[in-house]
């Protein structure tokens, strides 16, 4: 019996430590392609997850990095964007494009990207209950100036558990970076 029990427990532990595939859904395209490659892009601040406001700025930084490195876009400096937002009351909304297009024109961009972190569950370990892997749900929206419609995609990603109690604990950035790569790829 012990010969079967030990391999079975080891297999279950190995399976429980792996993360899930990123699930991307709610994908909606604009009426024409965004054509991100080579475009000048403004990335607005992201709203953070309830109870974890720090996830918003982290998500924005990850989106800027993915766009610059993977999609080879020219990202307008976030500090320039923040300076503009400080002087103008712009609320990102797919239903009110006028202020977003004015922001893009002022900063010389063709595409505006914004989004939100809908949920973040951090890694949790308590000796009395099983460990909880980190989980992220985020939505990214983008519009191209003078093109009707807004491209939208939502990603859900569950991270992995650390191999041991002494291993580095997974962070929001660890899980969100994979989700953002997938969601940016889904935006068309």
- Per residue in 96-117, pLDDT (tens digit) is 899 999 999 999 999 999 999 9
At 19, the pLDDT band (50, 70, 90 cuts) reads: low
Q: What is the predicted pLDDT for the residue at 131? A: 78
Number of residues in the chain? 188
Mean pLDDT score, 38-48: 95
At 8, the pLDDT band (50, 70, 90 cuts) reads: very low
Q: What is the predicted pLDDT for the residue at 128? A: 64
Q: What is the predicted pLDDT for the residue at 29? A: 85
Q: Where are the domains of the chain?
A: 19-186
Q: What is the pLDDT of residues 120-131, one digit of tens each?
A: 999 877 766 677
Please state, in angstroms and rounded to a whole number, the distance separating the CA atoms of residues 82 and 90: 11
Q: What is the predicted pLDDT for the residue at 160? A: 86
Residue 152 near residue 140, CB atoms below 8 Å: yes
At 88, the pLDDT band (50, 70, 90 cuts) reads: very high
Cα distances (angstroms) measured from residue 174 to each of 49, 63, 165: 16, 13, 17
Cα distances (angstroms) measured from residue 140 to each of 77, 113, 188: 19, 7, 12
Architecture of the domain whose range is 19-186: 3-Layer(aba) Sandwich (3.40)
Between 129 and 6, the more confident residue is 129
User: What pTM does this model have?
Assistant: 0.85
Percent of the chain with pLDDT over 70: 88
The CA-CA-CA angle for residues 8, 11, 17, to 5°, reads 140
Q: What is the predicted pLDDT for the residue at 169? A: 85
At 26, the pLDDT band (50, 70, 90 cuts) reads: confident
Q: What is the pLDDT of residues 50-80, one digit of tens each?
A: 999 999 999 999 999 999 998 889 999 999 9
Residue 14 has pLDDT above 70, yes or no: no
Mean pLDDT across the chain: 86
Q: What is the predicted pLDDT for the residue at 125? A: 78
């Amino acid at each position: 019996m012990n010969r079967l029990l030990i391999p079975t427990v080891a297999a279950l532990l190995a399976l429980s430590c792996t993360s899930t595939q990123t699930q991307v859904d709610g994908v909606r395209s604009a009426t024409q392609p965004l054509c991100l490659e080579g475009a000048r892009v403004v990335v607005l601040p992201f709203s953070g997850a309830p109870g974890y406001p720090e996830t918003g700025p982290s998500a924005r930084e990850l989106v800027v990095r993915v766009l610059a490195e993977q999609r080879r876009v020219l990202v307008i400096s976030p500090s320039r964007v923040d300076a503009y937002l400080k002087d103008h009351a712009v609320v990102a909304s797919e239903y009110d494009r006028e202020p977003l297009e004015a922001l893009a024109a002022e900063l010389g961009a063709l595409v505006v990207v914004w989004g939100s972190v809908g949920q973040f569950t951090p890694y949790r370990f308590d000796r009395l209950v099983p460990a909880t892997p980190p989980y992220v749900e985020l939505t990214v929206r983008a519009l191209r100036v003078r093109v009707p419609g807004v491209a939208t995609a939502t990603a859900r990603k569950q991270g992995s558990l650390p191999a041991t109690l002494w291993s580095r604990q997974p962070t929001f950035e660890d899980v969100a970076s994979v989700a953002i790569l997938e969601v940016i790829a889904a935006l068309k």
